[in-house]
Amino acid sequence: MLAVSTPTPAQVSVGISVGFAPPELPVYEQPICPGDGYIWTPGYWAWDSDADDYYWVPGTWVLAPQVGFLWTPAWWGWGGSAFIFHEGYWGPQVGFYGGINYGFGYFGRGFEGGRWDHDHFFYNRSVSNVNVTVIHNVYNTTVVNRTDVRVSYNGGNGGINERPTREEESYDRERHVAPVAEQTRHVEAARGNPQFRATANHGKPPVAATPRPGAFNDHGAVAAKEGSYKAEASRPAPHAGAAGGRTETNARTETNAGGHTAIHPNELPTAERHAPPTTGNAKVDQKYQQQQDKLDKQQAQERQKLQAQQEKEHQQFAKQNDEARKAQVEQKHQQQTQQMVQRHTQQQQNLQQKQQPHAAPAPKERH
């Protein structure tokens, strides 16, 4: 089978943007489902700012965090000046994931690999690899799947040209659950393996999918059959302000402890100090600097307001010994913070695009 790896404001994003597209999605087979209640989460290319490289996160079976929840895959989308990463999430419906054909039921819209029926998940055997002697809740529904599309991103040059429907946008506004702890450890383990980097495996990772999160050495893990990636052709020439730096708008949002997605605004990296515009016209430069200062001030105020709001909610629940409710509040705070980062990213990109037509032309070469 073929596994093939415009943002909506409501969808969770972790604030990662890269100046060049991720590789095509590799071809691989799906490992057999390890047990009842496991949901397939497809593999995708993630970005490691420390290595300045994409790396493959193997597809894997994950036990659903609660009955009735489905997985909306992560995806990359062109944001006007860079490719922006949108993190996957759990929820009652499958939201927009860029129209990307990840295979195994994720063919660009929704999920065809199975469905919940009361307290049990039923697997569609036409696209899901299950052992019927172990799992009896199965059905067969034929699904037409194109196997010649391996594009891993939405929009931009050569990307998937799909937009979310109104229904999908409404799903993005529903209550979501962030990736579970097993998924987070799975991603970090993949990030720490140099063989998973695109420049090392040329788009054909040695482990493309696993039966369980992090089980890279399990006998059921599978390697990619096909893959293609020419790093030098994809990577743009270095230039001032190139995407990939560690700032709020184009780096991972991490805590100072390192490695964890920021939950609150005060855990975000320091906001970027933008270089003064140099169009060659002093009046235009002054105008754009005023616009930039206004935007920076507005975004700083939004950070402070959201931090104060979240601290107030913490105080309200401080005296309650309810760990489940506390976890729900923290998930809500994480989503609010990540949505703010996505909004600030888009605002900055819109301002830069507005200034671009008036930028000073590059000096001509002398012969």
Give the residue extent of every domain in the chain: 17-234, 265-358
Give the Cα separation of 269 and 283 in Å (integer): 32
Angstrom CA distances, 134 to 34, 70, 129, 336, stand at: 9, 22, 12, 41
User: What is the distance, to the nearest Å, from the Cα of residue 122 to the centroid of all Cα atoms in its chain?
Assistant: 27
Give the Cα separation of 141 and 356 in Å (integer): 50
pLDDT tens per residue across all 367 residues of the chain: 333 333 333 344 445 889 899 999 999 999 999 999 999 999 999 999 899 999 999 999 999 999 999 999 999 999 888 899 999 999 999 999 999 999 999 999 999 999 999 899 999 999 999 999 999 999 999 877 656 568 999 998 889 999 999 999 888 888 889 999 999 999 999 999 999 999 999 999 999 999 999 999 999 999 999 887 766 556 664 433 333 433 333 333 333 333 345 677 877 766 666 666 666 788 888 888 888 889 888 988 898 899 888 888 877 766 666 666 777 787 788 778 878 887 888 788 778 777 665 544 444 444 4
Residue reference for tokens 């073929």: 2
Is 106 in contact with 2 (CB distance < 8 Å)?
no
- For residue 215 the two structure tokens come to 């089980």
pLDDT at position 148: 58
DSSP string, 301-341: HHHHHHHHHHHHHHHHHTT---HHHHHHHHHHHHHHHHHHH
pLDDT at position 23: 95
Q: What residues pair up with 56 in beta bridges, in sequence order?
A: 45
pLDDT at position 146: 59
pLDDT tens, residue by residue, 104-128: 999 999 999 999 998 999 999 999 9
pLDDT at position 151: 92
pLDDT tens, residue by residue, 267-305: 776 666 666 666 678 888 888 888 888 988 898 889 889
Angstrom CA distances, 243 to 19, 74, 193, 289, stand at: 5, 20, 23, 21
| C-beta neighbour count of 146 within 10 angstroms | 12
User: What is the distance, to the nearest Å, from the Cα of residue 20 to the centroid of all Cα atoms in its chain?
Assistant: 15
Angstrom CA distances, 179 to 244, 281, 330, stand at: 24, 48, 13
Assign 3-state DSSP to the chain and report helix, strand, coil percentages, each to 5: 30, 15, 55
- For residue 113 the two structure tokens come to 């690999």
